[in-house]
Copies of this chain bind each other. A is one copy, B any other.
Amino acid sequence: MAERIYCGLDLGGTCIKAGVVRAADRKLLSSVSVETCRQRGPNFVIGRLIEAAGLAVAEAGLQMERVAGIGVGTPGPLSHRRGVVFQTSNLPGWVCEPVVERIREGTGRPATLENDGNAAAWGEFWAGAGSDVDSLAVLTLGTGIGAGIILQGRLIRGGRENGGELGHMIVQAGGRPCTCGQRGCLETYASAHKLALRFAEALSAGETSSVAVAGDEEITSVQIAEAARAGDPLASRIWDEACYYLAIGCVNITRICNPDRILLGGGLINAGKQLLLKPVREKFALEDWRLACPEQPLAPDIRFASLNTEAGLIGAAGAVELAIEEGLIHV
């Protein structure tokens, strides 16, 4: 019997990542990236997804017929069960797009759809830093905060398929406005992008920092991390606050999901363990909720994710396996 092959697609606002994964050892055989061209609307973008799948399969030296299924991670809200993306805030014009059907028609292969945060979490569980535990929560700290929850080996999509949005958990009622319409979401304090935004706002409001900004250039979380490391007071304060809110997020995840492990992924973790992971762990430990029972420690360990920018596409590929188990894809 030929070995089973999955294709994974990760649809972002800027680019589409695609790859082919061998089921047996969960090894990534190819990885390509194409521009999303989101301004050209859903039909065009779905065409790009189909194209990217073809490129990834070719890059792996395979034919499309060899692929057992194609998994797609996209922003939500969406229906995994129906394969439809309802709409997404960063892709203009998307209204109830039947992504799974279109990809199946365009490639001739069965397809399945997952929220991008769920796909990245599933990737870490299936083939990354969560593959040795049963229960896992993942926060992907990028433009926003993507998230996913796995309990007893099962991906928790929520009752109406759009749960798991830990980045939009309100941790500071009445706090900073979020792009989602709420206030005080974890994301507004601790995503890479919004941390940088917050820093820029502080500068605009007259606070001073050693971070030099040339003209219209955008400040990045990397610059803020460097400045915080060098002791810049404003950068340190905002960085520290991001770590604090991440720790609060980890407390809530522990209270609600009680996983074995919490993984932090996404661009922000390039700041490194000393600057990010250590303070998050320390602040988490300060929240003195751990009722002692030496036999069964209730607190998760908090670590960095390991699949970097490929978590989403690997997880989307791995989601084909879920769809097979659920009877959504027949092989």
Contact = CB atoms under 8 A, between A and B. Distances in A.
A160 B297 CA distance: 9
A165 B251 contact: no
Most buried by B among A133, A245, A291, A295: A291
A158 B79 contact: no
Contact of A287 (B151, B160, B182, B259): B182
Interface stretch (A2-10, A54-62, A168-176, A199-207): A168-176
Interface string A80-121: 000000110100000010000000000000000000000000
Contacts of A257: 158-159, 163
Nearest to A135: B159
A94 to B, nearest CB: 11
Nearest to A290: B181
A65 interface: no
A33 interface: no
A169 B253 CA distance: 8
A109 B248 CA distance: 43
Contacts of A164: 256, 258
A292 B87 contact: yes
Contacts of A245: 173
A157 B163 CA distance: 16
B296 A160 contact: yes
Given A170-B171, A291-B89, A255 B165 contact: yes
A252 B180 contact: no
Interface size class of A (residues with CB under 8 A): 35 or more
A134 interface: yes
B173 A259 contact: no
A298 B252 CA distance: 22
22 contacts: A86-B293, A87-B292, A89-B291, A135-B159, A149-B256, A151-B156, A151-B163, A156-B156, A158-B259, A160-B298, A161-B258, A163-B254, A163-B258, A164-B256, A165-B256, A166-B256, A168-B289, A171-B173, A172-B173, A180-B289, A181-B288, A256-B256
Contact of A77 (B156, B169, B291): B291
A258 B81 CA distance: 15
Interface in A265-323: 287-289, 291-293, 295-296, 298, 300
Nearest to A147: B256
A244 interface: yes
B287 A181 contact: yes
A223 interface: no
